[in-house]
């Protein structure tokens, strides 16, 4: 028995998990498969006859119009991504494969929901440059920012300061209360450090209980001294009741200035690290 493929094709299209769009020269939707309801929240009959551009995220309209022109000029676009706004107001990330059909005088596109994929990609990008526990900048990104800040300071003949922050006797918290509680204390310390800096500055976790702070556009040594006092006071604030009476460890803070204490990243980091250990041994900056 012969299969009537012509009659079967429409049913197959509506079975597809991806959504098929047919859009005319004026950007009006001439046909959309049933999967559109899962993708955008609209039934096919709600979309048919409306402008497809009405559903594109406003921030993606320009790049989407450029893609439309490309497709209508005969260049298929099989890896285009943009965002659409669903009926419920949520944003969906879409991967498109589209081409222009002279036979029907319309462009035909297949849309795939890649919102979950985009979220996973964003998470991987974030983790590549941030500490997974505290969400602070990690060592790799901090070093990049330090190098960039040094180049900028050299060009402008400016200054910057580098702080090396170490939590005193933090090991005792892990030993007595466990690593889970230690992680909570580290996260609180990270929040307090981040709260003390400007948006243009950078706080990083270098590992364990060691943090660095990059202060750019420093006007004077007094500015840095005030910043150290601010960080010391913030770190000394009592922990909440949810910490069960644990005290936040005090911290030792070493510092280095560009260009007085060094003109390259390694020298500055070494100087700040050495200054921190000197303070940890003697208990004060004057030691």
The full set of domains in the chain, from first to last, is 5-119 (3.30.450.20), 130-282 (3.30.70.270)
- DSSP assignment, residue 50? S
- DSSP assignment, residue 18? S
Predicted confidence pLDDT, tens digits, the chain (287 residues): 554 556 666 777 887 899 999 999 999 999 999 999 999 999 999 999 999 999 999 999 999 999 999 999 999 999 999 999 999 999 999 999 999 999 889 999 999 999 999 999 999 999 999 999 999 999 999 999 999 999 999 999 999 999 999 999 899 999 999 999 999 999 999 999 999 999 999 999 999 999 999 999 887 888 899 999 999 999 999 998 888 888 899 999 999 999 999 999 999 999 999 999 999 887 655 43
What was the pLDDT predicted at 286?
Answer: 44
- DSSP assignment, residue 286? T
Q: Could you tell me if 246 and 186 are in contact, meaning their C-beta atoms sit under 8 angstroms apart?
A: no
What was the pLDDT predicted at 6?
Answer: 62
pTM (predicted TM-score):
0.76
Q: Could you tell me if 162 and 268 are in contact, meaning their C-beta atoms sit under 8 angstroms apart?
A: yes
What was the pLDDT predicted at 245?
Answer: 84
Which amino acids are annotated catalytic? Answer: 209
Quickly list DSSP for 184-248: HHHHHHHHHHHHTS-TTSEEEEEETTEEEEEEES---HHHHHHHHHHHHHHHTSPPPGGGTTPPP
Residue 5's contacts (CB-CB under 8 Å, 6 or more residues apart) are: none
What was the pLDDT predicted at 8?
Answer: 60
CA 178 – CA 113 distance, rounded (Å): 43
How distant, in Å, are the alpha carbons of 114, 121, 131, 244 from that of 124? 15, 5, 12, 34
What was the pLDDT predicted at 241?
Answer: 87
**CA-closest candidate to residue 160, choices 73, 26, 246, 259:** 259
What was the pLDDT predicted at 261?
Answer: 93
> 191 burial class (0-12, 13-18, 19+ CB within 10 angstroms)?
middle
């Amino acid at each position: 028995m012969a299969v009537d493929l012509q009659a079967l094709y429409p049913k197959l299209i509506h079975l597809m998990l991806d959504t098929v769009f047919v859009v005319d020269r004026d950007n009006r939707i001439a046909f959309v498969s049933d999967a559109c309801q899962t993708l955008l929240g609209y039934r096919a009959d709600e979309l048919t006859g409306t402008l497809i551009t009405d559903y594109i995220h406003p921030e993606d309209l320009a790049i989407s119009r450029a893609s439309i022109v490309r497709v209508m000029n005969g260049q298929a676009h099989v890896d285009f991504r943009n965002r659409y706004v669903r009926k419920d107001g949520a944003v969906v990330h879409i991967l498109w494969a589209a081409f222009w059909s002279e036979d029907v005088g319309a462009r035909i596109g297949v849309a795939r929901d890649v919102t979950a994929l985009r979220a996973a990609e964003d998470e991987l990008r974030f983790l590549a440059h941030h500490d997974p526990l505290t969400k602070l900048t990690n060592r790799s990104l901090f070093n990049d920012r330090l190098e960039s800040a040094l180049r900028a300071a050299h060009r402008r003949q400016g200054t910057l300061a580098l702080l090396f922050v170490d939590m005193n006797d933090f090991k005792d918290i892990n030993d007595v209360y466990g690593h889970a509680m230690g992680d909570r204390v580290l996260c609180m310390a990270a929040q307090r450090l981040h709260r003390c800096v400007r948006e243009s500055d950078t706080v990083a976790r270098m590992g364990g209980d060691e943090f660095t702070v990059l202060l750019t556009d420093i006007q004077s040594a007094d500015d840095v001294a005030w910043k150290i006092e601010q960080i010391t006071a913030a770190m000394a604030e009592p922990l909440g009741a949810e910490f069960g009476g644990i005290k936040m460890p005090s911290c030792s803070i070493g510092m280095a200035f560009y260009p007085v204490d060094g003109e390259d990243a390694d020298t500055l980091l070494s100087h700040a690290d050495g200054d921190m250990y000197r303070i940890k041994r003697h208990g004060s900056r004057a030691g």
